[in-house]
Structure 1
Amino acid sequence: MSKPVNPMAIGGFTVGALVLLVVGLLMFGGGQFFNADKIRYVIFFDSSLNGLEVGAPVKMQGVKIGTVTEVKLELDPNTAKVYKPVVVEIDRKSFVGMEGRPEEISNDPKRQKANADKMVKEGFRARLEMQSLLTGLLYVDFGMYPDKPAQYTRLNYQGLVELPCIPTTVDELRSTAESMMEKLRDVPLDKMVADFSETLREIRNLLGSKEMQRSNAALTKTLEGMEKTLATLNQNLEPILRESKATVTSANALVQDSRSMVNDVHRDVRPVLAGAEKSMAAATTALDTANATLQKAQSAIVTVEGAVGPDSALNETLLALKNAARSVKNLTDYLERHPESLVFGKGH
């Protein structure tokens, strides 16, 4: 006859099995069943991780978006190179859309990789920053650094998407200082110091030479002469300026008088010029009449030339009349070219 089954033993066995199941899920599932709102990424930092601890905050633009869950060392046996993977866990609820609604982030690793690559292309980088100078603790800061190149290790760590990192500010300062020290080591300081000492020695010899002493004496005399000249100039400058001012005043008065005289002459000459124009018009009319008369006289001369001798009184009269007409014509032409001669006379 079989023994009765102990209910306590059955209950204990069942509870133990459930506990083992939960522990297995936590160990092999990485807590993903309880962290559906978390996304994990891996970052391989080149900087020292001293001060970065598990639980350190992960921030972006000063806002906490997650925490550090793992800080490990990974050794490559082929190259003996040490890598420092840091796993960060990002809270989905930290990101919202333009309308304040929670941003949908896919659980698909391929989608996560595509989204991460898009952000990295825009300059998304991770770097270590110091939480406090007193404690020396570090945190992971995400920011946009499009001018910094994205560097990957291309290592597979737990199948997580890798995010690129850049050196810390301290590392950049240290690198710059080391670069400057390398350049200073290449500078021939001994030769530069020797050349500088030689230059100082030559300057000292030059300053103590007789030529420099004579030059100083000559310069002193020149300066003294300049001081005397300036003193004399200061004494005579005021009278010169006063005379110059009086001369300028006289010149201005002369210019004003000349301007008034020109205006008066212009006002007086204008009527005379108008009368000259009328006289010229009358002379032109007289000239036309004389020309007509001359033509008639020439015709008459041709008619009576056969009856009158060349030395007759009539012929001489006609010649005189012709010469008079020519003189009147010349006078009229001259007045047309020089009307001012009626006022100032011929030759002005």
Structure 2
Amino acid sequence: MSESTNRKTVIGAFVLFGGFLALFIVMAFGHMSFLAPSREAVVVFQNSITGLSVGAPVNFRGVKVGTVKSITLRFDPADHKAYIPVVLTLEPDQIHVVKDVPGGNKVSIQELIGIGLRAELNLLSFVTGQSNIELDFDRSVEPVLHPRITNLPEIPVRMSAVEKLKDTLGQIPIKEISHHADAALLSVTQLSDSLNKDLPPLLLSAKVTADRSHETIEAATAAIKDLQAKLDVTLGKMDQLMETGNTQLNARGADLHATLTSATQTLDSLQAILSPRSIDRANLDAALRDIAATAASLRLLLRC
């Protein structure tokens, strides 16, 4: 019986030794903090965290690294603001350090925060409204910490895409746009009413004007046709008159030529008489002198 007991003891010791050896191998070569205690961090929100509840997952780029442990509400009388600290329980066994990296195989939360670790509220479903905490690196967001609210390591908050959308929509002056839309709709309604009142008389006036224009065009067309007929008659008469004039000019051409010839001869005779060297002019001048002398003698006789 003692041999059986010793055999069981040896087998038990061998099993325990194998278990410890396997655990050592996993911890040494797998870089896992197996059975390591969980770590806590806090995220402080100021806006609404609707849909977030205790037990909600904490993910890093879709990989679950923890859960929400507690959600409380704290009021700071110093700045008259309300804060919502959300305590996270992080699971170190979900985060492994790359082998052969200087500095050991542990990375603290403060180191991760220092290199840009940020938290945001993520809406999981629009249908259920459930939310979770998403972690990621984003150095562009300046860290805002709240040492008066908590003593735990604080992961700074950054705005999620939904919160950015809400903030953008909140900056849109919806009331002013609504007032402008109401005013525009009222103006359109008034314009429609005005058109309903003014348009029928305007259309009737346009129809009357169109009818009168049509009548005027018809009258003008008739007048143009009548004028065209009269112009045709006038042009025919003018052609006849021109033909008659040409005939008369041709018939009177010989008489006109003779008259012009006679007039030319008469002018030549007058020029010959009036020329200073002309004999006829000399005789005429002598006759005029004789007449003048005779007249002078008669005046002397009359005086005596």
- RCO higher in 1 or 2 (8 Å CA, sep ≥ 6)? 2
Q: Could you say whether these structures have the same fold, taking a TM-score greater than 0.5 normalized by the shorter chain as the test?
A: no
Kindly name which structure, 1 or 2, has the bigger radius of gyration based on alpha carbons: 2
